[in-house]
Amino acid sequence: MEPTAWCEVRLTVPLAQSETACAIAAMAAPGGFYLEDYSDLEQQAQAIAHVDLIDEDLLQKDRTRAVIHLYISPDVNPTESLDFLRGRLAENRIDARIDVGSVRQEDWADNWKQYFQPLPVGEKLIICPTWRPDPDVGGRLPLRIDPGLAFGTGGHETTRLVLEALERAVRPGCRLLDVGCGSGILSIAALLLGAADATGVDIDPTAVRTAVENGALNGFTAPRYRMITGNLADAVHGCFDVIVANIVADAVVALTPTAVRLLAPQGVYIVSGIIDTREDGVQQALAQNGLTVVRRDVRNGWVCLTCARRGRES
Protein backbone atom coordinates (compact mmCIF):
# COMPACT_ATOMS: atom_id res chain seq x y z
CA MET A 1 0.00 0.00 0.00
CA GLU A 2 1.37 3.40 -0.95
CA PRO A 3 1.81 5.95 1.86
CA THR A 4 -0.87 8.12 0.22
CA ALA A 5 -3.46 5.31 0.32
CA TRP A 6 -6.24 5.25 2.88
CA CYS A 7 -6.13 2.50 5.48
CA GLU A 8 -9.15 0.19 5.46
CA VAL A 9 -10.32 -1.36 8.72
CA ARG A 10 -12.98 -4.08 8.81
CA LEU A 11 -15.11 -4.59 11.91
CA THR A 12 -17.08 -7.82 12.17
CA VAL A 13 -19.79 -7.42 14.82
CA PRO A 14 -22.97 -9.19 15.95
CA LEU A 15 -25.92 -8.00 13.88
CA ALA A 16 -27.75 -6.74 16.95
CA GLN A 17 -24.83 -4.43 17.76
CA SER A 18 -24.23 -3.13 14.24
CA GLU A 19 -26.09 0.17 14.73
CA THR A 20 -23.97 1.18 17.71
CA ALA A 21 -20.82 -0.06 15.97
CA CYS A 22 -21.65 2.07 12.92
CA ALA A 23 -22.02 5.16 15.11
CA ILE A 24 -18.59 4.48 16.62
CA ALA A 25 -17.10 3.88 13.16
CA ALA A 26 -18.43 7.23 11.97
CA MET A 27 -16.62 9.02 14.80
CA ALA A 28 -13.40 7.03 14.52
CA ALA A 29 -13.08 7.48 10.75
CA PRO A 30 -14.62 10.64 9.29
CA GLY A 31 -13.46 9.37 5.88
CA GLY A 32 -16.56 7.23 5.81
CA PHE A 33 -17.68 3.61 6.07
CA TYR A 34 -20.05 1.13 4.52
CA LEU A 35 -21.97 -1.76 6.03
CA GLU A 36 -22.31 -5.35 4.84
CA ASP A 37 -25.53 -6.82 6.23
CA TYR A 38 -27.00 -9.95 4.64
CA SER A 39 -29.68 -10.64 7.24
CA ASP A 40 -32.55 -9.86 4.87
CA LEU A 41 -30.85 -10.75 1.61
CA GLU A 42 -33.85 -12.45 -0.03
CA GLN A 43 -36.25 -9.64 0.83
CA GLN A 44 -33.87 -6.96 -0.43
CA ALA A 45 -33.16 -8.83 -3.65
CA GLN A 46 -36.87 -9.09 -4.37
CA ALA A 47 -37.61 -5.49 -3.41
CA ILE A 48 -34.71 -3.92 -5.29
CA ALA A 49 -33.96 -6.23 -8.21
CA HIS A 50 -37.24 -8.15 -8.38
CA VAL A 51 -35.40 -11.48 -8.59
CA ASP A 52 -35.51 -14.71 -6.63
CA LEU A 53 -32.27 -16.18 -7.97
CA ILE A 54 -29.33 -15.10 -5.81
CA ASP A 55 -25.64 -15.90 -6.20
CA GLU A 56 -24.65 -18.91 -4.10
CA ASP A 57 -21.71 -17.04 -2.53
CA LEU A 58 -24.08 -14.41 -1.20
CA LEU A 59 -26.39 -17.04 0.22
CA GLN A 60 -23.45 -18.46 2.17
CA LYS A 61 -22.76 -15.15 3.93
CA ASP A 62 -23.11 -15.09 7.72
CA ARG A 63 -26.57 -13.68 8.48
CA THR A 64 -25.85 -13.22 12.20
CA ARG A 65 -23.00 -10.74 11.85
CA ALA A 66 -22.37 -7.50 9.98
CA VAL A 67 -19.11 -6.21 8.53
CA ILE A 68 -18.30 -2.50 8.72
CA HIS A 69 -15.62 -1.19 6.39
CA LEU A 70 -14.17 2.12 7.55
CA TYR A 71 -11.41 4.24 6.12
CA ILE A 72 -8.67 6.16 7.87
CA SER A 73 -7.21 9.14 6.04
CA PRO A 74 -3.47 9.11 5.28
CA ASP A 75 -3.04 12.32 7.28
CA VAL A 76 -4.13 10.55 10.49
CA ASN A 77 -2.09 8.17 12.63
CA PRO A 78 -3.92 4.81 12.18
CA THR A 79 -2.52 3.52 15.46
CA GLU A 80 -4.21 6.37 17.28
CA SER A 81 -7.51 5.86 15.46
CA LEU A 82 -7.48 2.13 16.17
CA ASP A 83 -6.73 2.77 19.83
CA PHE A 84 -9.85 4.90 20.09
CA LEU A 85 -11.87 2.44 18.05
CA ARG A 86 -10.94 -0.48 20.30
CA GLY A 87 -11.67 1.55 23.42
CA ARG A 88 -15.11 2.66 22.25
CA LEU A 89 -16.09 -0.84 21.12
CA ALA A 90 -14.97 -2.26 24.46
CA GLU A 91 -16.81 0.30 26.56
CA ASN A 92 -19.99 -0.43 24.60
CA ARG A 93 -19.37 -4.16 25.12
CA ILE A 94 -19.34 -4.89 21.41
CA ASP A 95 -17.79 -8.23 20.49
CA ALA A 96 -15.88 -7.08 17.43
CA ARG A 97 -13.19 -8.64 15.31
CA ILE A 98 -10.89 -6.01 13.82
CA ASP A 99 -8.99 -6.64 10.58
CA VAL A 100 -6.69 -4.17 8.84
CA GLY A 101 -5.85 -3.98 5.14
CA SER A 102 -2.53 -4.67 3.47
CA VAL A 103 -0.54 -1.96 5.24
CA ARG A 104 1.67 -3.38 8.00
CA GLN A 105 1.09 -1.91 11.46
CA GLU A 106 4.83 -1.45 12.01
CA ASP A 107 4.93 0.86 8.95
CA TRP A 108 2.16 3.18 10.11
CA ALA A 109 4.23 5.29 12.45
CA ASP A 110 6.39 6.34 9.49
CA ASN A 111 3.80 6.51 6.71
CA TRP A 112 1.53 9.08 8.33
CA LYS A 113 4.28 11.39 9.54
CA GLN A 114 4.65 13.18 6.21
CA TYR A 115 1.13 14.57 6.66
CA PHE A 116 1.41 15.68 10.29
CA GLN A 117 1.72 19.45 10.13
CA PRO A 118 2.22 21.89 13.04
CA LEU A 119 -1.16 22.25 14.73
CA PRO A 120 -2.28 25.37 16.64
CA VAL A 121 -4.53 24.45 19.57
CA GLY A 122 -6.56 26.87 21.63
CA GLU A 123 -5.05 30.33 21.99
CA LYS A 124 -1.60 29.55 23.38
CA LEU A 125 -0.19 26.26 22.09
CA ILE A 126 1.12 24.89 18.82
CA ILE A 127 1.91 21.19 18.49
CA CYS A 128 5.11 20.60 16.51
CA PRO A 129 6.13 17.16 15.20
CA THR A 130 9.75 16.49 16.04
CA TRP A 131 10.65 15.36 12.52
CA ARG A 132 9.82 18.75 10.95
CA PRO A 133 11.75 22.01 11.22
CA ASP A 134 10.39 24.29 13.94
CA PRO A 135 7.64 26.45 12.43
CA ASP A 136 7.03 30.14 12.90
CA VAL A 137 5.06 29.79 16.13
CA GLY A 138 3.57 33.28 15.98
CA GLY A 139 3.88 33.87 19.73
CA ARG A 140 2.45 30.47 20.67
CA LEU A 141 4.12 27.96 22.97
CA PRO A 142 5.68 25.13 20.90
CA LEU A 143 4.90 21.64 22.18
CA ARG A 144 7.20 19.10 20.49
CA ILE A 145 5.79 15.62 20.17
CA ASP A 146 6.62 12.23 18.70
CA PRO A 147 3.76 9.95 19.74
CA GLY A 148 5.29 6.69 18.51
CA LEU A 149 2.69 4.00 19.28
CA ALA A 150 1.15 5.93 22.20
CA PHE A 151 -2.03 7.94 21.92
CA GLY A 152 -1.70 11.70 21.74
CA THR A 153 -0.74 13.90 18.82
CA GLY A 154 -3.32 16.56 19.57
CA GLY A 155 -5.13 15.76 16.35
CA HIS A 156 -8.05 13.94 17.92
CA GLU A 157 -11.04 15.92 19.18
CA THR A 158 -10.74 14.64 22.73
CA THR A 159 -7.09 15.67 23.08
CA ARG A 160 -7.76 19.14 21.66
CA LEU A 161 -10.71 19.59 24.01
CA VAL A 162 -8.53 18.79 27.03
CA LEU A 163 -5.69 21.01 25.83
CA GLU A 164 -8.16 23.89 25.53
CA ALA A 165 -9.53 23.09 28.98
CA LEU A 166 -5.99 23.12 30.39
CA GLU A 167 -5.47 26.65 29.07
CA ARG A 168 -8.38 27.70 31.26
CA ALA A 169 -7.51 25.57 34.30
CA VAL A 170 -3.73 25.74 34.72
CA ARG A 171 -2.49 28.43 37.07
CA PRO A 172 1.17 29.32 37.74
CA GLY A 173 2.62 26.93 40.28
CA CYS A 174 -0.18 24.38 40.22
CA ARG A 175 0.36 20.61 40.33
CA LEU A 176 -1.10 18.37 37.60
CA LEU A 177 -1.94 14.66 37.45
CA ASP A 178 -2.51 13.04 34.04
CA VAL A 179 -4.42 9.74 34.29
CA GLY A 180 -3.65 7.60 31.24
CA CYS A 181 -0.75 9.77 30.10
CA GLY A 182 -0.29 8.28 26.61
CA SER A 183 2.33 10.31 24.76
CA GLY A 184 2.62 12.77 27.66
CA ILE A 185 1.14 15.60 25.62
CA LEU A 186 -1.21 16.85 28.36
CA SER A 187 1.47 16.89 31.06
CA ILE A 188 3.88 18.71 28.76
CA ALA A 189 1.19 21.24 27.86
CA ALA A 190 0.50 21.91 31.54
CA LEU A 191 4.17 22.64 32.23
CA LEU A 192 4.39 24.94 29.21
CA LEU A 193 1.32 26.77 30.53
CA GLY A 194 2.99 27.36 33.91
CA ALA A 195 2.32 24.33 36.12
CA ALA A 196 4.95 23.68 38.78
CA ASP A 197 5.08 19.96 38.12
CA ALA A 198 3.24 17.21 36.27
CA THR A 199 2.78 13.55 37.12
CA GLY A 200 1.50 11.06 34.56
CA VAL A 201 0.41 7.47 35.09
CA ASP A 202 -0.40 4.76 32.57
CA ILE A 203 -0.71 0.97 32.72
CA ASP A 204 1.08 0.73 29.34
CA PRO A 205 4.88 0.81 29.76
CA THR A 206 5.30 1.73 26.07
CA ALA A 207 3.21 4.86 26.62
CA VAL A 208 5.19 5.81 29.70
CA ARG A 209 8.49 5.34 27.87
CA THR A 210 7.22 7.50 25.01
CA ALA A 211 5.98 10.14 27.47
CA VAL A 212 9.38 10.32 29.14
CA GLU A 213 11.07 10.79 25.76
CA ASN A 214 8.63 13.52 24.74
CA GLY A 215 9.15 15.31 28.03
CA ALA A 216 12.89 15.40 27.39
CA LEU A 217 12.29 16.80 23.89
CA ASN A 218 10.57 19.76 25.56
CA GLY A 219 13.19 20.13 28.29
CA PHE A 220 11.18 18.47 31.07
CA THR A 221 12.58 15.66 33.23
CA ALA A 222 12.06 14.24 36.72
CA PRO A 223 11.29 15.30 39.33
CA ARG A 224 9.28 18.14 37.77
CA TYR A 225 7.98 15.84 35.03
CA ARG A 226 7.35 12.36 36.41
CA MET A 227 5.81 9.50 34.43
CA ILE A 228 4.80 6.30 36.25
CA THR A 229 3.85 2.84 35.02
CA GLY A 230 1.08 1.33 37.10
CA ASN A 231 -2.42 1.55 38.48
CA LEU A 232 -3.65 4.94 39.65
CA ALA A 233 -4.71 3.78 43.11
CA ASP A 234 -1.42 2.02 43.81
CA ALA A 235 1.13 4.17 41.98
CA VAL A 236 0.15 7.77 42.73
CA HIS A 237 0.08 9.65 46.03
CA GLY A 238 -0.21 13.33 46.87
CA CYS A 239 -2.55 16.23 46.22
CA PHE A 240 -3.11 17.81 42.81
CA ASP A 241 -4.68 21.08 41.72
CA VAL A 242 -5.61 19.80 38.26
CA ILE A 243 -6.36 16.20 37.33
CA VAL A 244 -7.01 15.22 33.72
CA ALA A 245 -8.28 11.89 32.40
CA ASN A 246 -8.58 11.59 28.62
CA ILE A 247 -9.55 7.93 28.58
CA VAL A 248 -12.91 6.15 28.04
CA ALA A 249 -16.22 6.47 29.87
CA ASP A 250 -15.98 3.20 31.80
CA ALA A 251 -12.46 4.05 32.97
CA VAL A 252 -13.55 7.54 34.05
CA VAL A 253 -16.35 6.03 36.11
CA ALA A 254 -14.02 3.46 37.69
CA LEU A 255 -11.17 5.86 38.46
CA THR A 256 -13.11 8.92 39.64
CA PRO A 257 -13.35 7.85 43.33
CA THR A 258 -9.55 7.57 43.48
CA ALA A 259 -9.06 10.78 41.51
CA VAL A 260 -11.28 12.70 43.93
CA ARG A 261 -9.14 11.54 46.86
CA LEU A 262 -6.11 13.02 45.10
CA LEU A 263 -7.84 16.28 44.13
CA ALA A 264 -7.05 19.45 46.08
CA PRO A 265 -10.05 21.10 47.82
CA GLN A 266 -10.19 23.85 45.19
CA GLY A 267 -8.99 21.57 42.40
CA VAL A 268 -10.25 21.05 38.86
CA TYR A 269 -11.03 17.62 37.40
CA ILE A 270 -11.15 17.38 33.59
CA VAL A 271 -12.45 14.22 31.91
CA SER A 272 -12.68 13.47 28.19
CA GLY A 273 -12.66 10.58 25.73
CA ILE A 274 -16.40 10.25 26.34
CA ILE A 275 -18.86 9.44 23.56
CA ASP A 276 -21.97 11.56 23.99
CA THR A 277 -24.13 8.42 24.30
CA ARG A 278 -22.16 7.45 27.43
CA GLU A 279 -22.17 10.88 29.04
CA ASP A 280 -25.11 10.27 31.39
CA GLY A 281 -23.29 7.44 33.16
CA VAL A 282 -20.19 9.61 33.60
CA GLN A 283 -22.23 12.54 34.89
CA GLN A 284 -23.88 10.24 37.43
CA ALA A 285 -20.51 8.95 38.66
CA LEU A 286 -19.17 12.49 38.99
CA ALA A 287 -22.20 13.57 41.05
CA GLN A 288 -21.94 10.49 43.27
CA ASN A 289 -18.37 11.49 44.08
CA GLY A 290 -19.25 15.03 45.09
CA LEU A 291 -18.35 16.77 41.83
CA THR A 292 -20.22 19.37 39.82
CA VAL A 293 -19.74 19.93 36.08
CA VAL A 294 -18.82 23.59 35.64
CA ARG A 295 -18.23 23.43 31.88
CA ARG A 296 -19.24 21.03 29.13
CA ASP A 297 -17.58 21.08 25.71
CA VAL A 298 -18.61 18.88 22.78
CA ARG A 299 -16.97 18.30 19.41
CA ASN A 300 -18.08 15.76 16.79
CA GLY A 301 -19.81 13.56 19.34
CA TRP A 302 -16.99 13.67 21.93
CA VAL A 303 -17.57 15.24 25.33
CA CYS A 304 -15.14 16.97 27.70
CA LEU A 305 -16.33 17.84 31.20
CA THR A 306 -14.59 20.26 33.55
CA CYS A 307 -15.57 19.62 37.16
CA ALA A 308 -15.10 21.02 40.66
CA ARG A 309 -16.03 19.83 44.10
CA ARG A 310 -19.65 20.55 44.94
CA GLY A 311 -19.82 24.00 46.54
CA ARG A 312 -16.58 25.10 44.77
CA GLU A 313 -18.12 25.83 41.36
CA SER A 314 -17.04 29.45 41.07
Domains of the chain: 7-110 (3.30.70), 116-309 (3.40.50.150)
Residues of the chain with pLDDT under 50: 1-4, 40-61, 103-106, 108-109, 149-150
296 Cβ neighbours under 8 A, 6+ residues apart: 303, 304, 305, 306
In the chain, % of residues over pLDDT 90: 41
What does the DSSP assignment read for 53-78? ---HHHHTS-SSEEEEEEEE-TTS-H
CB-CB contact of 176 with 240 (8 Å): yes
* pTM exceeding 0.75: no
What are the pLDDT digits (tens) for 233-279?
889 999 999 999 998 888 899 999 999 999 999 999 999 988 888 89
**150 vs 122, 136, 153, 183, CA distance in Å?**
22, 27, 9, 5
